[in-house]
Structure 1
Amino acid sequence: MIPNSRYDGKPLLRLLELYVLNSINELSQVDRQTLERMEPRLHAIYGGGGTWHEAIAAALSMSLDVPKVIQDMWISNQETAKKKGVILSPQMFAEMFVDQNFTV
C-alpha cells in the first residue's frame, strides 16, 4: 500500500482506489496479494462475503454494475486525455473517480 497523507484517518479511501484499480485491471500483484490476505478482516469490518472487493462493495452498498461503470469511465477518460495530449495514469484516474463519486 502507498504511504500518503491523503489517507490519514481515511482507511476506506485507499481501499476504494484499489477497488477502482481492480475494476480497470490495473491492480498490482503486490496490492492484490495484500488485499487477499486482508479479506477476513475486511469482511469482519465491512461485511460482504467472498473476495476483498465484495467487502468494499458491501461497505458502500454498491450495485453489481459498478465495476463496468468504472471500466467505461476509464476508457472514456483515457480517450479524452489522449485527445488533450495528457497522460492519465491508472492511479490518477482512481483518485479522481473516488474523489468525485464517494464521500469518505
Structure 2
Amino acid sequence: MDNTRYDGRPLLRFVECYVLRVIGELPTKDERHMQEAEHILQETEHILQETFSSKDKWYDIIKDEIRISATDDDEIKKMWFDHKKLTQYHKQVLTSEEFARIIVDQNFPIDPV
C-alpha cells in the first residue's frame, strides 16, 4: 500500500475502510488480522468523534460527513457483487483493498488538507 496516498488526507483511509465494511471485507485475511484492524479503528475513533463533535461510531461519522446514503451502500455492494461475478470469467481480479480505493477515488474525492 502506498502510504504517501494518505499524506494530507487523514479521512481517506477511514473512507476506504468504510467501503470495505459495506462490502463485508473489513478486514480481510484472518481473525487475528480482523481483531487488529478493529482495534486500530476503535483506538482512532475518538479522534473522529472530537473532530466532528460526535459520539457516533467511526463508520457513522464517515457516512454522515461524506454524505453516503443507504442507496450508495447498496450500489457499492452491488458493484462488488458484480465484480466478483465477472472474475469467474476473467483472470483479472481486484482485491477488496483495490476495489475500495477505486470506489473512493471515483465517488468520494477527498482533497488534501
Bigger mean CA deviation after superposition, 58-67 or 83-92: 58-67
Aligned to 2:100: 94
Larger Rg: 2
Q: Shift of residue 27 of structure 1? A: 1.0
Aligned to 1:9: 8
- Counterparts of residues 10-89 of structure 1 (less than 5 Å): 10-28=9-27, 29=34, 30-89=36-95
* Secondary structure in structure 1 of the residue aligned to 2:70: coil
Runs (4+) of structure 1 exceeding 4 A deviation are none
Structure 2 CA distance for partners of 1:9 and 1:45, relative to 1, 3 Å: same
For structure 1, the 5+ residue unaligned runs are: none
Higher relative contact order (CA 8 A, sep 6+): 2
Bigger mean CA deviation after superposition, 30-39 or 6-15: 30-39
> In the alignment, residue 82 of structure 1 is paired with which amino acid?
Q
Superposed CA RMSD: 1.9
Identity, % of aligned positions: 32
TM-score scaled to structure 2, two decimals? 0.78
Structure 2 CA distance for partners of 1:3 and 1:34, relative to 1, 3 Å: farther
Equivalent residue pairs, number: 103
For structure 2, the 5+ residue unaligned runs are: 28-33
* Secondary structure in structure 1 of the residue aligned to 2:68: coil
